[in-house]
Structure 1
């Protein structure tokens, strides 16, 4: 990473840290972008260049931004899909995404405010759609293939559920605890698979 990229990363981190402090102190809705720029010691135009909207700012550390597909595409082409997706899941949770306590605080702000919550949902849906296409390409199946679509949706649903469990935990999960959480969920689903809705014709 070059000097310019390092400086940009530091600026983004300063903005997020400053904004989070203000959100926790004043509330998300009461905090304006101008307040964040002033507290961070940067110009308003600079702030908007990094984050065009307030909701994009607060969800930045939580968004995957193509990492699911990037991780899947890095797996060997002949690796079974279930194994590849298992690695994708654990890699995302083991990746360094910043201070866990800060991530919990950001999640609390997002959960308590409709605008960032909706924006995060949109990001999550976009990531899921990209994963659907990547799975179809990997298996040489047509776009919107039902198997690929449902596999991607099950994967992202499990990812979301794991995230909920991890954020609820009172201490930071170690690498082995994250792996064991995934193994435990996998065992439970294998032992009692979710029910698939079936339409029976009336006679």
Structure 2
């Protein structure tokens, strides 16, 4: 990392370190960008250069940006779909994201804000659509094909459930923890969710 990139990363963290205490003290909706800039001791122009909107302060580390679909498309065409999906899920987890403390702050702020919860749902929907299209292309089916839609939804659901499990983990809420272990715990949560769903698949309505 060059000096300029290092400085930019430090500035980003400085801004986040100022923003999250304000969100938790005053509420996300009530906190203004001007207050965040003042707390971080940076100009508002600098703040908007790094974070063009307030929701990017919270949602930025959670953005998937089509990573699952990109990874799925990069896999061999003759690879079993479930194996390619496993790589797609791992790709979403292995991209550097927020550390443990920041994850807990993000989770707490989202739980307090309906607008951020909606934004998170929109991100999942976008990623699901991209993955659904990648599945359809691989299998030569239309993108609205029921199998492709259900399979993409299931992959995204695994991520959602794993996030909930990780957030409820007593280890995560304890004081004896670190970022390296946290990455492993999230992957363990995904593995746990997948195994549980395989052992006891959800029931479909009988019509």
TM tier, shorter chain? 0.7 to 0.9
- Residue in 2 that maps onto 1:76: 76
User: Which deviates more, 49-58 or 171-180?
Assistant: 171-180
Instruction: Report deviation, 1:118.
Output: 1.3
Alignment of 1:9-48 (within 5 A): 9-48=9-48
Q: Distance in 2 between matches of 1:167 and 1:72?
A: 27
**TM-score normalised by length of structure 2:** 0.83
8 Å CA contact 2:75–2:84 kept in 1: the answer is: yes
**TM-score normalised by length of structure 1:** 0.84
Give unpaired runs (5+ residues) of structure 2. Answer: 173-180
Alignment of 1:1-203 (within 5 A): 4-172=4-172, 177-199=185-207
Secondary structure, in 3 states, of the residue corresponding to 1:18?
A: helix
Instruction: Report deviation, 1:161.
Output: 0.3
Q: Distance in 2 between matches of 1:110 and 1:90?
A: 23
How many positions carry a matched residue from both structures?
A: 199
Q: Distance in 2 between matches of 1:181 and 1:26?
A: 32
Q: Distance in 2 between matches of 1:176 and 1:29?
A: 33
Change (3 A) 1:107 1:179: closer
8 Å CA contact 1:71–1:88 kept in 2: the answer is: yes
C-alpha RMSD over aligned residues: 2.4
Instruction: Report deviation, 1:111.
Output: 1.0
